[in-house]
Amino acid sequence: MTFDLAPMLPLWLLAAVAAVVILGALYGLVRGARGMVWRALAVLMLLGWMAGPRSLHPVLRPVPQDALLIVDHSPSMQVGQRASLADQTANQITQDATHLPGLTLHRIDVPGGSGHGTRLFDAMDHADLPQGRFAGAIVVTDGMDHDVPSRLPTRFQGPNGQRLPLHLVLTAKGEETDRRLRILSTPPYAIVGQNATIRLQVDDLGTPAPATATLTVRAGDAPATTRTIQTGQPQDITVPVQHPGETLVGLSVSALPGEASTLNNNDVIRIRGVRDRLRVLLVSGVPNQSERVWRRLLKADPSVDLVHFTILRSPSTDDGTPLSDLALIPFPIRELFQEKIRSFDLIILDGFRNSNILPEEYLTNIADYVRRGGGLLVTAGPEFVQDGSLQDTTLAQVFPAHVPTDGLVSQAFRPVLTDLGKAHPVTAGLGNSNDWGPWYRSAKVDQSHGQNLMNGPNGSPLLLLDRVDQGRVAMLLSDQLWLWSRNEGGGGPQAELLRRLSHWLMKEPDLEENRLSARIENGQLLVDRHALGQTAITPQAIVTLPDGHTQPITMTGGKGLWHGSMPVTGGGIWTIRQDGLVAFASPAAQDTLERQDLRATATIMGATAKASGGSQNWAGIGIPHLRQVTAGQDLSGSGWIGLPVSQAAVAGETRTQDLVPAWLALVLALIFLGVGWWREGR
């Protein structure tokens, strides 16, 4: 502020008149004239007014400013009416901002989720604003943010050291409560026939004291069980794993009265059942290339416990070898094929010619082992057309094919998948058989049954699968598979084929040709029914919803594969049944970070807002209006929130103000004249 004069008369004239008045007043004072001084003061007052003293003030106008409006659209905002309330709040604040001069409000919608939680401050940091024009931020949220800084970000420090406000507008009527189910630990897999232990905890958030809750556990198709637990304390529960493959365990806890949401009151755990050390017995004939392939494959699998014996020579061979050199250890025939045969999951006979090595009694035990649920894999080479082959024993009763004495074919050929093989889980997806390398020897059959997945020369069966009572048998009618491991002619998928073949014989659920599977993707329950060799199935599958209600689903398709779908919402376990088969499905795990706490609360972001000088408001009670305030004033009040306005002087423009208004000069002059008259009258 500066001072200036705007005289009505020349200053020299006013000064001269003032000098005369002052001299007259002094003369009157010397002569004792009463009231003279007061009359002089009245005249001087009028002269001072006529000199026009005034103050000059710069003209201030608001400078352009930018503010942020951060709107939370994370998954937790879908609880209740939060999303609609957030949109109402954002629209009102945006409308208020259009009436504030110089203010540009930038709206940023933050989606959240995707496993990273809600990151509102990260959105602020990445906002592109002009330098030096930031006025503050308004955050419309439920308060659940996962990147709250430990101290106020530097963006909220103004150029003059003042704080810039961060206002919270919370989409609720006040602090809420929430009960959540937390999985502390769970095993990714468990041994079939044993129990898996799950450690969990139920927390009541926003409540003053712990309470009791009811926990419901449902594992697979077993009836649900309930137990009473104490909130705030870890709990261990055990569930049985009864079959190989995935087991879904549904967990749910009773609701807390008045809680914000029950979405985090339940969860689904996936535990894969595995067999404990699959035991495989591999018996090889004379040493051959296939033997090395089998050993490499089975030894590379840590879940397989391999027992391998190779018959170096038959008992009838007479080559002068000393008896002490015939074997390192005695061949434990009785132990393997009578006492412990039931302990094996799979028996592989690779190039094995009996020649009285195994008594008929033990070969009968192998056949009985298959009928009672065991798996048997046989590879047929030259030994099958020789005297004393396995076809001449009781074991032939479980073979899916018979090779005649002239059945050995020596010619180059490429294995080809049959139509059934292209769809069967054991061979489907192994690639284009036209790209596979050749084999040079196979065994043709004069009779066969079961499922033929691959053809050899002249369309003869090459890979046969068959079920025998409760067990399974696979027969590979060639001993040339090892050529693929040597990349002969480009090689082939020998490792994957043998892996699938072995696991099908050991009843791996994912390789069953008659199976029911289900999954949930994008809000749709997708059901697949594989039924190779069947032309028709039950046209509908029955779906049991998580709440216990049932609903049919129509299956369409053919040629061994049918599909069905239906829309689903929410979480839990859906159970699907068809023709005695059962499948389970559950939605993929949602963003666990977002589901940890579903309250609307100011406890997480409130301290940061307070540190900035901002406020916290509950939109469910009333949406605050936005206004601008000058520096030093309150930044919030009843029903409103404020942003500090920044002003700058306009070059070449000033605002004037008279220091002595005319009315004041007149009043003072009259007063002085009145006092002078009064003094003269005495």
Q: Decide: 528 and 562 in contact? Cβ < 8 Å.
A: yes
Q: Give the three-class secondary structure for 314.
A: coil
Query: Which of 387, 212, 357, 224 has its CA nearest to residue 284?
Result: 357
Q: Decide: 626 and 641 in contact? Cβ < 8 Å.
A: yes
Task: Place 611 in a pLDDT band, splitting at 50, 70 and 90.
Answer: very high
Mean pLDDT for the stretch of residues 275-300: 76
- Residue corresponding to tokens 């400013």: 65
Question: pLDDT higher for 550 or 632?
Answer: 550
Q: Decide: 43 and 21 in contact? Cβ < 8 Å.
A: yes
Q: Give the three-class secondary structure for 650.
A: strand
Query: Which of 175, 203, 198 has its CA nearest to residue 187?
Result: 198
**463 half-sphere exposure, CB direction, 13 A CA radius:** 20
pLDDT in tens, 231-283: 999 999 999 988 888 889 999 999 999 999 998 999 999 998 887 778 888 88
State the Cα torsion 519-249-547-567 to the nearest 10°. Answer: -10
Question: pLDDT higher for 325 or 137?
Answer: 137
646 alpha carbon, distance to own chain's centre: 44
Is the pLDDT at 610 greater than 80, yes or no? yes
Helices (H), 355-427: 360-371, 419-423
List phi, psi (to 5°) of 643.
-120, 135
Question: pLDDT higher for 627 or 132?
Answer: 627
**What distance in Å separates the CA atoms of residue 23 and residue 137, rounded to the nearest whole number?**
67
Contacts of residue 476, Cβ cutoff 8 Å, sequence gap at least 6: 377, 378, 379, 380, 462, 463
List phi, psi (to 5°) of 60.
-100, 135
- Residue corresponding to tokens 């009028």: 46
Average pLDDT for the chain? 85
Least trusted range by pLDDT, from 83-87, 111-115, 342-346, 400-404 = 111-115
Mean pLDDT for the stretch of residues 25-29: 73
Task: Place 661 in a pLDDT band, splitting at 50, 70 and 90.
Answer: confident
Mean pLDDT for the stretch of residues 339-347: 90
**65 half-sphere exposure, CB direction, 13 A CA radius:** 25
pLDDT at residue number 681 = 65
Is the pLDDT at 60 greater than 60, yes or no? no
**Which amino acid appears at position 642 of this protein?**
G
**Which amino acid appears at position 593 of this protein?**
L
> pTM score, two decimals?
0.73
Is the pLDDT at 329 greater than 90, yes or no? no
**680 half-sphere exposure, CB direction, 13 A CA radius:** 13
Query: Which of 590, 586, 517 has its CA nearest to residue 268?
Result: 586
Helices (H), 557-612: 592-595, 606-611
Mean pLDDT for the stretch of residues 373-391: 87
pLDDT in tens, 172-211: 999 999 999 999 999 988 888 889 999 999 999 999 888 9
Task: Place 389 in a pLDDT band, splitting at 50, 70 and 90.
Answer: confident
pLDDT in tens, 538-594: 889 999 998 889 999 999 988 788 999 999 988 888 999 998 899 999 988 767 788
Cβ atoms within 10 Å, residue 32 = 7
678 alpha carbon, distance to own chain's centre: 95
- Paired with 320 in beta bridges are none
State the Cα torsion 8-10-14-15 to the nearest 10°. Answer: 150
**What distance in Å separates the CA atoms of residue 578 and residue 575, rounded to the nearest whole number?**
10
